[in-house]
């Protein structure tokens, strides 16, 4: 079994690898949401022993895809490589009047989201948006334009958003460990799947 030196930084890397919100991650650990939020603000914090044990348990039960993402996020970088904040690339793929969504699995819940993937230090967020969309859904797309980026209000990672055009491919759930479903939904029905207040405003503007 791997021995992890748990700090706020490595705990947040595990959260990002799991694609969990602060609320979901706090619930799994049995801690207050503000505790998880404090790790994003103070990454050198060392959690209490009982919290480290809970982190060990979550890590040991993680799926292979979560472990791959965690190892990537915590891999030591060469001294010449600048430190990069955790970053995700998010693809808003449209085909006519439809937009592509994936349904993520949580502990006891499901949530609809846009296809997304972690960006390696020095990597291209635009390329990740295209590659992860294909890896998750089988859909080939191309980036039309960037929609901006922000510090995600829930996960605390840097989120880069891209408007993408459908090229070819049938939508299918190719990552059944992470996702429960993949679906094209009408733009007009998007907020039935994702509440409007949780959608980055430039996305709503681009889809209007």
In a domain? residue 2: no
Per-residue pLDDT band at 172 (split at 50, 70, 90): very high
pLDDT at 107 over 70: no
Q: What is the pLDDT of residue 81?
A: 43
Among the listed residues 163, 96, 177, 106, the one whose alpha carbon sits nearest the alpha carbon of residue 135: 177
Comparing 16 with 101, the larger pLDDT belongs to 101
State the Cα–Cα distance between residues 156 and 151, nearest whole angstrom.
6
79 pLDDT exceeds 50? no
Do 95 and 145 share a structural domain? yes
Q: What pLDDT score does 77 carry?
A: 56
- Do 25 and 91 lie in one domain? The reply is no
Domain match, 140 and 95 both? yes
| pLDDT at residue number 44 | 87
146 and 169 belong to one structural domain: yes
Give the confidence band of 167 by pLDDT, cuts at 50, 70, 90: very high
Q: Is residue 3 part of a domain?
A: no
Tell whether 68 and 118 lie within a shared domain.
no
**Structural domain includes residue 79:** no
pLDDT over 70 for what percent of the chain?
94
Residues 95, 157: one domain?
A: yes
Any domain includes 150: yes
For residue 113, give both structure tokens: 């989201």
Residues 64 and 104 grouped into a single domain: no
Domain check: are 143 and 203 in the same one?
A: yes
Is residue 97 located within the same domain as residue 49?
no
Residue 80 placed within a domain: no
pLDDT at 208: 84
Range with the poorest average pLDDT among 141-145, 174-178, 191-195: 174-178
The single residue listed with the structure tokens 């989120």 is 159
Query: Is residue 82 included in any domain, yes or no?
Result: no
Query: What's the whole-number mean pLDDT along residues 72-83?
Result: 62
The range of the structural domain enclosing residue 42 comes to 8-74
**Cα(28)–Cα(44) distance, rounded to whole angstroms?**
21
**176 inside domain:** yes
Q: Does 106 lie in the same domain as 57?
A: no
- pLDDT per position as a tens digit, 117-128: 999 888 899 999
In this prediction the pTM is: 0.63
* CA distances for 35 relative to 47, 169, 187, angstroms: 9, 43, 37
1 domain residue, yes or no: no
Domain boundary among 53, 74, 95: 74
- Domain CATH number, residue 159: 3.90.79.10
**Phi and psi (nearest 5°) for 108?**
-130, 25
Which pLDDT score is estimated for 82?
Answer: 46
Residues 102 and 184 in one domain: yes
């Amino acid at each position: 079994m791997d021995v992890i030196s748990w700090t706020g930084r490595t705990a947040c890397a595990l959260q990002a690898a799991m694609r969990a919100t602060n609320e979901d991650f706090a619930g799994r650990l049995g801690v207050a949401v503000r505790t998880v939020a404090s790790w994003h603000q103070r990454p050198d914090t060392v959690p209490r022993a009982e919290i480290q044990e809970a982190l060990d348990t979550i890590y040991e039960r993680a799926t292979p895809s979560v472990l791959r993402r965690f190892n990537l996020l915590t891999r030591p970088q060469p001294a010449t490589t600048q430190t990069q904040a955790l970053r995700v690339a998010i693809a808003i793929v449209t085909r006519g009047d439809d937009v592509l969504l994936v349904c993520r699995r949580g502990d006891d819940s499901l949530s609809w989201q846009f296809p997304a993937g972690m960006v390696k230090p020095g990597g291209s967020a635009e390329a990740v948006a295209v590659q992860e969309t294909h890896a998750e859904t089988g859909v080939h797309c191309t980036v039309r334009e960037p929609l901006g980026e922000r510090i995600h209000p829930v996960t605390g990672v840097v989120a880069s958003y891209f408007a993408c055009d459908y090229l070819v491919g049938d939508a299918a759930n190719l990552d059944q460990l992470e996702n429960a479903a993949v679906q094209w939904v009408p733009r007009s029905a998007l907020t039935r799947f994702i509440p409007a207040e949780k959608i980055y405003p430039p996305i709503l503007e681009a889809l209007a």
